[in-house]
Amino acid sequence: MVLIFSFLFFGQELFSIDDFTSAFVFGKEDFFPSSQKTNSLVQDEGSVEVHFCPRENCEKLFVDFLEQAEFSLHCALYDIGLPSVQEVLLRKKKEGKNVGVITDDAYLKRFRHAFVKADGSYGLMHNKFCIVDGNKVSTGSMNPTAGDAQENNNNLLFISSPLVAQNYENEFAEMWKGRFKSGDITKNPAVRVGETALEILFCPEDGCAEKVQEEIRKAEKSVFFMTFSFTHQGIAEEILFKKLEGVEIKGIMDKTQAAGEYSVFPWLEFQGIEVIKNKKSLLHHKVFIIDGKTVITGSFNPTKGGDERNDENMVIIRDMEIANKYLAEFQRLWNKTEGEK
């Protein structure tokens, strides 16, 4: 599969960035057989890695990931503040690789180049993903900034899968063509990478808040969450319903956001749900862990803005081993925060 993918994608001279939109989505209609253009699980070879910042060196991990690019490097990054990341993007471009970058309009000044685009419309381009050579994806909650990589609590995912990468390439193409805060629904969201089942979604077109609520409704034993900004009342109510059914609920929220006017923190606390505030560095995760086997992560904060007005991406991971890693991160932060009281 990878060899075929590489031939189709790179079996021509590298096109210029001006020809990018017409050339790079080689398989938007033809890469998947028509029988697979559904929500059924499609099998692919590959792997899923998860890392946690700042206890791991996420800057080096992310730079090393970008360095793997031999042909193309397409990134949608809310903020690009790390000089090491800027350097590798510029160098790859100078080496003749097909490099395209989309960032939020508020941060374009940090990395303004001919191969960088931004959207100035209402709402945020809040994604944090890169695609290397059309077959590897980075995502998670980490922005490539010094704060997120070296101080704030974040997660960073690396997914090796041409099928997953194609979903991200399609989303990138829409934004590159100027189609922000809208787009086609993801054609092949459900992919099994090795033994790990994934569901890939992009907001607002894929209804991310409803998907979070849907997953919470399935909970039978526990729902643990780590969230930066949490203002979505519908998701909060689903959590309360599960508590009333006897499901164990615990949550950690960032102290700066929990104090906001629209935060659900005081409402959850009033309802008797165990929620605590991270005390020191920002808690920047956007994570739900359900029954110790399903993880929801990505750039999507459980907010109305994240659901309706921003460009976001979300990954649902169904894998007990990976879920255990997120549970360990949750427990570490819970114990640390409790100890700071």
Question: Does residue 178 share a domain with residue 250?
Answer: no
CATH number of the domain at 97, please: 3.30.870.10
Clarify whether residues 331 and 273 are in a common domain.
yes
Residues 193-210, mean pLDDT to the nearest whole number: 96
Q: Is the pLDDT of residue 201 over 90?
A: yes
Question: Looking at the domain assignment, is residue 16 inside a domain?
Answer: no
Judge whether residue 34 has pLDDT over 50: no
Residues 179 and 214 in one domain: no
The verdict on residue 88 lying in a domain is: yes
DSSP assignments along 5-66, one per residue? HHHHHHSSPPPPGGGHHHHS-TTTTTSS-GGGSSSS-EEE--EEEEEEETTS-HHHHHHHHH
Check whether residue 253 and residue 318 sit in a common domain. yes
- pLDDT reported for residue 39: 63
| 108-162 residue pLDDT tens | 999 999 999 998 888 999 999 999 999 999 999 999 999 999 999 999 999 999 9
Q: What is the pTM of this model?
A: 0.89
CB 134 within 8 A of CB 170: no
Q: In sequence order, what are the residues at sequence separation of 6 or more whose Cβ sits closer than 8 angstroms to the Cβ of residue 316? A: 198, 199, 201, 211, 215, 294, 295, 296
Domain that holds residue 69: 45-186
pLDDT band at 31 (very low <50, low <70, confident <90, very high): very low
In this prediction, residue 36 carries a pLDDT of 36
Residue 195 placed within a domain: no
For the chain, the domain total comes to 2
pLDDT digits (tens, 9 = 90+) for 248-285: 999 999 999 999 999 999 999 999 999 999 988 899 99
